[in-house]
Each structure stands twice: as C-alpha cells, then as structure tokens.
Structure 1
C-alpha cells in the first residue's frame, strides 16, 4: 500500500486495514507474553483500541509494524505487572497451556514434541531473552527492528539473543542427560 493510499483512508478504514493485516500476528505475540488465550484476545482488543486512539500520533519514524509491536509489547508488560496477573500461579498457566494443546491424535503429539519442548523452554526464559528470541526467530524481525520495538540497542539485542540461545542449549543438554529441572 502506498503512502498516498494510507493518507486517503479515513481513520476507521486505517484501523480496519491494520486489524486485518496484523490482528492474528499481534494476538499470537500477546499470547507469548500472557500465556492465556482469553487474556490474549482481550489484550489484543485493547491494543487495537490504543492504536485507534493514537493513530494520529504515528510519526512515521519507524515502520507501522514496529510501532504496533511496540504498543503491543508495552501493553503486555503493563498487563503482566498488574496485581491480578501477579496473583495468578504458574501452575494455572501451565494447565491452560496443556488444555489448549490436547487436540491432535497421539502421533501428531509425538511429532511435535521437539518443537513444543523448544517453545515451552523459550516461554520459561526471563522476559529480556524470551522477547528477543520470539521477535527474532518466530516473528522473523531483523535485529534492528527488534531493537526499535524494545527501545534497546542492536548490540543489546545481539547479547540477549546469544544468552537466550545459551540458556536453551543448556536446557537441551540437561534433558539429553536425563536431568529434569522444570
């Protein structure tokens, strides 16, 4: 879509376009933070309301995608800091995650073991490592884009990617040796 097309659209058309273009992607991103499908849907709605309200303030200094991701990540972090979320237990999150993944035949579950193991361990990483790994590997953003979204330098992104990969490698080695540390 050209700049002229965007400027000719009304605000309602712009938000509709952004929801069509980024809605599912943002919902999946939000889920990686909150690990709850219902909360991810609610937060995604809140994010697009915020985008709608702030659409006029988009200065074009970054791409619309990085601007939307920044809003989404900030909303997720605010949500995770809230009293309600702090009161939820890790056990409840795990139960919900397991329920959402019991949908396929036994063979399908076995085939996905390695992929699910990686996802589970990425989701267990501390937030600074988790978010750069998710944005870089799962959302296929460049190191520069990840830095813009998280408001950190490219070198910090690289360091966090390296440390996150090291933590995952150590977890994999422990699993291969039969050590289980949760």
Structure 2
C-alpha cells in the first residue's frame, strides 16, 4: 500500500514540477520578444499635417541633411553651410538622392507649365512658376516641390521644400540657385 501511495504521490507531483519548469522557460523566452516589440516603434506619418519651417534656433546649428553637390551621401552641416545671402538654406539637388519622394505640390500664383521629372525611379510632376528675379531683373522659372527624405541609417525622416530657379529661354545655363527649407518633421512624427 505504501508503494502504491508513493507512486500516486509521484504521479501527481512530478507532472506539476515539469509543467512549472516549462512555464518558466516560456516566460523567459517571451520577455526578449516583448522587449523587441517595445523597442521597435513604428513611425506614423500624417501627410495632412501642416509643414512648418525650422528656425535656426530650432536647428541647434547642426542637422543631418543631404550633402551639397552631386553626392547622395549624408553630411553634418552647420547653419553657415546652408545659409546664402538671403538667409535661406542652400542645398544642391540631385535626382539620385535615395529614399526621396514628393509629398505635395506648392501652390504658385502663376503656373507656366508642368513637366515630368524622374525622382528615385518614379515620374513626378514638377510645377514651374514664372517669376522676375529681384536682383537682376531677369525672367526666370521657379520650381517648388515638397520632398520627404529618409536617412537610411536611422530611418529619420526630413521634410524638405526644394526651390529651383533658372533663367527663362536658356539652353546653356542650368539652375543658378537651389534653395531648400528643412521642414519640421516633429509635427508629423508620432
């Protein structure tokens, strides 16, 4: 009888101990997955949000932006690097810039024409505006587009308004100035 009692006791206790150990292991395995899920915060972009240019003070004189020139790498740029005589940010524009897509058209007063431009392998519609250059009185075209730039290293998003101005009826002169305003991505990043 004692043997039967011991066997019954073991039959009841051993499965409980085994199940208990298994549940602890499951909890240990589940914790890293939960921590990974917490660390991976999805960035939600509200494309209807109002775009506000960053002031120099907000830039803290240092911000990651696409590098000037026909290079699609990133550089650390100070305010002076991107400020021209008119106090605007200056940036050289390249259609080879990676991870760039247009967000919205600008709303010009006078639309001269529209043309298709290729951005990152996609055909985009560029808005050309006829203006008069206040410095030299030349008739020029001005092109304004909003773009989203994604830093491939850290997935940080920057919203950029690129203005490209070039002389009218000129086959030789390329864009003689290109301005970009870094947009406040904090208003549309959650």
Q: Give the TM bin, normalised by the shorter chain.
A: under 0.3
TM-score (norm: length of structure 1): 0.20
- Provide the TM-score with structure 2 as the length reference: 0.20
Which one has the bigger strand percentage? 2
Which structure dedicates a bigger proportion of its chain to helix?
Answer: 1
Larger Rg: 2
